[in-house]
A and B are shown apart, each in its own frame.
Chain A
Amino acid sequence: MDPIVYVSLGAALAAGLAGAASAFGVGVAGAAAAGVVAEDEKNFKNALILEGLPMTQSIYGLITLFLILLSAGIIGGGFKFAQATTDNIVKSAILFGAGLTVGLTGLSAIPQGIIASAGIGAVAKNPKTFTQGIIFAAMAETMAIFGLVGALIMIATGVGL
């Protein structure tokens, strides 16, 4: 495959998969937030914060997209790997891998949304469980963070910015 296919696929998968997963995650948690607010408006603040948690994955995806584009020179200058030399193909494949890592680990936004949803319910029943709910939801994000760390290292050391 041409290097440009790798690079653009990598960028698209990172932002696209993680973004879609975040959307689902926020959606699931948002439904729960709407539910508890329907019963009692004072749940609003807690529900809002928990609902926002699955959003981070899309941000990681977005950052990765920009770093990939930056690293490949699509942002700020010309595309660096236009020639299909082995070196260029390897570098663009690394960028593809980085994007894929963030995209797939970004899927953790969906279970995070589900945990947040259960957490919103629990907080509505007993407001004291708010912090615990946040910590439980933040657990699911660890995978996305590891993915981002991996991708950053791949991009920075494998290709360079």
Chain B
Amino acid sequence: MFRPEEMVKLDVITLNRYKDELLTYLHEAGLVEIRELDVKIAQKDAPNEYHRKAASYSITISRLVDFLKAHKKAHGGGIKEFFFPKEKAKRTYRYEGIEKLIKDVEEFLAKAEPEIRAVEGKLSSLQTEIERIKEAIATLELLSVFKLPVQYLRHSGLVEVSVGSVERLKLQALIEDLRKITEGRVALVSKELGDKALLVVANLSKDHDKVNSVLAKHSFERIEVPEGEGTPEELVREYRKKLDAKLRELDKTKKEAEKLAEKYYDDVVFYQELMENERDKASVLPMLARTNMTFALTGWLPRVDVPKVLEGIKKVTEGKAYINVREPSREEIEEIPIKLKNPSWAKPFEMLTEMYGVPRYDEIDPTPIIAFTYSFFFGFMLTDFMYGLIVGIVAALLVKGHKKFNDGTYKFAYTLLWSSVFTMLMGILFGSYFGNAGDIVLQYVTGNPNAQFWRIADALKDPMFVLMLALAIGLAHLFTGYTIGFIVKWKNGDVKGAVLEQLPWMLIIIAIVLLATRNASLAMPAKALFGIGIVLFAIGEIVANGGLAALMIISDFFGFVGTWLSYARLMALALATSGIAMVINVLVDMVWGIKISVVPLGIIIGLIIFVGGQLFSTAINALGAFVHSLRLQYVEFFGTFYSGDGKPFTPFKSKREVSKLELKADGGA
């Protein structure tokens, strides 16, 4: 707790023939972050032909996946799936080198790809044909204004005919130009349609070039006249028949595709995952150094995993490897990847820290603190027992359903579960159950018009109390931050920074607290502390900013005041929750009494408003509480001591959802 996982550096040199196996082992183990190795005398490694094949097959297969997925019958879904998703079955693949894997994939593709492509090709050609027929029908409907058999519109020979459209305004000019250039040897039929005009031009074939340039000048758009003979109306009927036939065929082919999806979908997804992992594995090759016989890799891993990894490497390389594990040196501190380490109750909260940025290796990991403060602030801002209950139930279901995946949903739901507990506690403390709905019910049940649940204060009647509470919490929060910052800096030897940057605010906060007690005997020491704090702060500003210090002193001091006052949002959001809940309750109260003869319409509508309104209020207020609680951590709290510019630990790790590798190192053979 409070410290990231201890890391050590690993160097391995071994023979080239173990490379594929060793990388595969590390990839599956997912415990080491591989770093670029810069050795002058050795050259960089590069992907070979098999890796290239893996990359290209992975794209090919992903296209097959897309196609099959689109045609897969959907089943499942719904609320149950959301809370309790099923785990996908993992198929085992016995890994015996990339060459063998590529061969297996090729075998599979040789069988499946032509089948799938055939159906895909058929589908797409059917679709193009259908489009073509539809277009032809549209064209024919357009041409029907001429009432001419279409074969005449396609005429060529001594006389050629072109059909097309032109902007209506240009029509007259076009006709004149055409007459002029052909010296009148042209026949024209035109029909105006909105902004455009349809035009049939018949001219002598020998005038083709001249006519063409005039047509281009006026942006004449040619229309392709569909095949067939007879009037447009007759042809349209014929084309519609063709269209129906094609549509039926399309339906049949889609069924075929569905069957194919059933047959191959799991397989293609399986092979896609295998190929994508190979592709990912190949991405570290340029980081390795190699000679003719050997290769070397370097990387970071957590100390606790060292024995396991060492044993694995020895097994894979049959002991023929040089392995060196060493402590990080002082200069390497900025390079060490950070893996957070927390007890299981705080682990899901690491997500919040990671979103901001992980600590440097010599910094403190604030996760356990924000696990508490984040949930507490969330609860403070929501402050309603029933809302907390709703959020808590949803969160608990999600936690239960997603625990086995340990995914983002699980982590988020877990933080929400904690927050809901605080929400319920705060709700009890302020007597809020769906706002004042609890009180109204209580008054109705007891018959006492002034009956109320127990509470320490009525937030709406006495907002000053809540405000003071919020500001006091803020002060405590900030004080914690400054104290941590002070300790960390002191420990890392930055005594000057600790005394000049964190200590002044600690003193000032203590002074404010002493003054707030309004105890006359404490007033003197409070003022003294405040004075020392201000002086230290001013010195710090002068040291840091020199000439600009005067300006910075003022702006930074009010910056502190602003930061502190920012905690007023705790109160504002808490009141907003009870405010909205009250608004809904008032609305329900208004309609409750409405009756149409004996039908208690008011009660029905009232219940709908109540349930809908309160659920909406829960959602919107929970969103607000989430955002602003997070903000108080990130902006106000982290601002006091935390940099968050460590590099997160990204191990060289495979992604396995539907597949599992069986390796020699696992004791397979």
Contacts and interface: CB of A to CB of B under 8 A. Distances in A.
A148 B463 CA distance: 11
A131 B633 CA distance: 12
Interface string A85-102: 000000000000000000
B461 A156 contact: yes
Contact of A135 (B467, B582, B630): B630
B9 to A, nearest CB: 27
A107 interface: no
A84 interface: no
Contacts of A161: 460-461
Given A52-B623, A134-B627, A138-B628, A62 B580 contact: yes
Contacts of B356: 131
A59 B586 contact: no
A139 B630 CA distance: 12
B620 interface: yes
A55 interface: yes
A142 interface: yes
Interface string A36-73: 00000000000001001101100110110011000000
A25 to B, nearest CB: 14
B462 A63 contact: no
Given A66-B586, A153-B464, A145 B579 contact: no
B569 A56 contact: no
A53 B570 CA distance: 17
A60 B356 CA distance: 28
B431 to A, nearest CB: 15
Q: Pick the most buried of B355, B356, B566, B576: most chain A CB atoms within 10 A of its CB.
A: B576
A82 interface: no
A152 interface: yes
Contact of B620 (A59, A67, A153): A59
A92 to B, nearest CB: 20
B631 interface: yes
A142 B460 contact: no
B441 interface: no
B159 interface: no
B279 to A, nearest CB: 21
A53 B627 contact: yes
A131 B461 CA distance: 35
- Would you call the interface of chain A mostly helix, strand, loop, or mixed? helix
Contacts of A66: 579, 582-583, 586
Contacts of A149: 467, 568-569, 571-572
A22 to B, nearest CB: 12
Contact of B576 (A52, A60, A156): A60
B528 interface: no
B646 to A, nearest CB: 15
A161 B575 CA distance: 14
A67 B627 CA distance: 25
Interface in B209-229: none
Contacts of B631: 135, 138-139
A5 interface: no
Contact of A152 (B565, B572, B580, B583): B572
Q: How large is the interface on A (under 10, 10 to 19, 20 to 34, 35 or more residues)?
A: 20 to 34
Contacts of A56: 576, 620, 624
Interface in A109-161: 130-131, 134-135, 138-139, 141-142, 145-146, 148-149, 152-153, 156-157, 161
A63 B580 contact: yes
Nearest to B619: A52
A134 to B, nearest CB: 6
Given A67-B460, A153-B463, A59 B580 contact: yes
A55 B617 CA distance: 12
Interface string B542-580: 000000000000000000000001101101110110011
B620 A146 contact: no
B394 to A, nearest CB: 16
A145 to B, nearest CB: 5
B187 interface: no
A136 to B, nearest CB: 10
Contacts of A67: 460, 579
B623 A156 contact: no
A75 interface: yes
B630 A145 contact: no
B463 A152 contact: yes
Contact of A146 (B461, B565, B586, B623): B565
A56 B569 CA distance: 12
Nearest to B356: A131
Interface in B450-478: 460-464, 467
Nearest to A49: B623
Interface of B: 355-356, 460-464, 467, 565-566, 568-569, 571-573, 575-576, 579-580, 582-583, 586, 620, 623-624, 627-628, 630-631, 634-635
23 contacts: A49-B623, A52-B623, A53-B623, A56-B576, A59-B576, A60-B572, A63-B575, A63-B576, A63-B579, A67-B460, A67-B579, A134-B627, A138-B627, A145-B572, A146-B565, A146-B568, A148-B575, A148-B576, A149-B571, A152-B467, A152-B571, A153-B467, A156-B463
Given A67-B579, A141-B628, A149-B569, 11 more contacts: A49-B623, A62-B580, A63-B575, A63-B580, A135-B630, A139-B635, A145-B568, A145-B569, A149-B572, A156-B461, A157-B464
